[in-house]
Structure 1
Amino acid sequence: MSIILSIVLGTLFGFALYRVGATHADKIIDMLTLRDLGLAKTIMAAIGLSSSLFFAGIALGIFDPSHMSIKGMYLGVIIGGLLLGFGWALSGMCPGTGVANLGAGRKDAMFFVSGGLIGAWAFTLAYEWLATFGLFKPMLGGKVSLASGVHNIWLAIVIGVAMIAAAFVLPKQIIKD
């Protein structure tokens, strides 16, 4: 049953990405070059809303966060984030929009998704070798969560609401053509 739910939710997520324009490379490039912040505003509002609801659910005892895994901070995460950002800017796709574009039949998405899978496979093969360089040693507190305490959960909710407010306040465009 959970695989069916995953497929249904993934399909709905892909449809939502398509509807807001996140699967269109020109919209991504316009967002990254600050020419059209409509997509960034949508992303901010969605993250703020889902974070606020999630942390409120934790505070009210609706969700049990004990099964969640927090990614530790280490140099490899920073390098990986830079690589992701570079690839996103270069292709106009991130992993989620790449798969959505593949589902929509875009040929360039086939190369993007294939490249991501090959890169992930190569990383698993090189992991032990990369570890010898200290790329995976914890830094800046290691596994730190905004919601590690009761007071922090409410702070997380406030930050989520602030993100929603910022999404409404930000201008649609910063750099004009």
Structure 2
Amino acid sequence: MSIVLAIVLGLFFGFVLQKIGAADPQIIIDMLRLKNLHLMKAILLAIGLSSLALFSLLNLGFIDMGNLSVKASYVGVIVGGAIMGLGWAISGFCPGTGLAALGTGRKDALFFVLGGLVGAQLFTLVYAALKGTFLFKSLGGKMTLAATGNNALQTFFPSISAVLVAGAIAIILILIAWKLPEKQGDNF
């Protein structure tokens, strides 16, 4: 059943990406150039609402924290994030939007997806050599913003409920999304 749910959710996610314009690299590039902020508004709203929903469901016990995985931070995460961000800015695709664009038949998306697969394979081949380098130096281990019921994790705000922290962040992101103009030059 979980594979069926994954397929249904993936199809829904791709559909939403297509509908908001995230499968069009020019819209993404215009967002990154701060020319068209429609997509940024959608992203901020989605992050705010989904964060609020996730932490509310965690707090209400509908989701077990054991089902979530908090990853440790490493120097390589920062380096990899910078490389991904550069690739995103150059191509106009991130992994999700690249797959959604491929689903629409875009040839540039095919090259993007193939390039990502080649990059992943190359990383797999050189992983053993990189494992002992500074790229895997820990930046403090596993940490969350607030207490989530898992005492094994460090928190930035240990005495504040994760629902309150997520709620505050969600409200801030939703307000920013609401106040952002659609296009550069519109009133802010």
Superposition TM-score, scaled by structure 1 size = 0.93
Aligned 1:104-119 pairs, distance under 5 A: 104-119=104-119
Deviation of the 1:65 alpha carbon: 1.5
1:148 aligns with 2:147: yes
Alpha-carbon RMSD = 1.5
Larger RCO, structures 1/2 (Cα 8 Å, 6+ apart): 1
Aligned 1:49-128 pairs, distance under 5 A: 49-128=49-128
Aligned 1:38-49 pairs, distance under 5 A: 38-49=38-49
The answer for the alignment partner of 2:138 in structure 1 is: 138
**Aligned residues of 1:34 and 1:175 also touching (Cα < 8 A):** no
Long gaps (5+) in structure 1 = none
SS of 1:145's partner is: strand
1:18 aligns with 2:28: no
Long gaps (5+) in structure 2 = 150-159
**Aligned residues of 1:146 and 1:152 also touching (Cα < 8 A):** no
Deviation of the 1:69 alpha carbon: 1.2
Seq. identity, %:
50
Superposition TM-score, scaled by structure 2 size = 0.88
**Aligned residues of 1:25 and 1:93 also touching (Cα < 8 A):** yes
Give per-residue Cα distances to partners, 1:85-125, cap 9 Å, x unaligned.
11111110000011111111111111111111111111111
Deviation of the 1:134 alpha carbon: 2.0
Distance 2:75 2:183 in 1: 33
The answer for the alignment partner of 2:152 in structure 1 is: none
The answer for the alignment partner of 2:168 in structure 1 is: 158
51-60 or 63-72, which deviates more? 63-72
The answer for the alignment partner of 1:168 in structure 2 is: 178
The one-letter code matched in structure 2 to 1:168 is: W
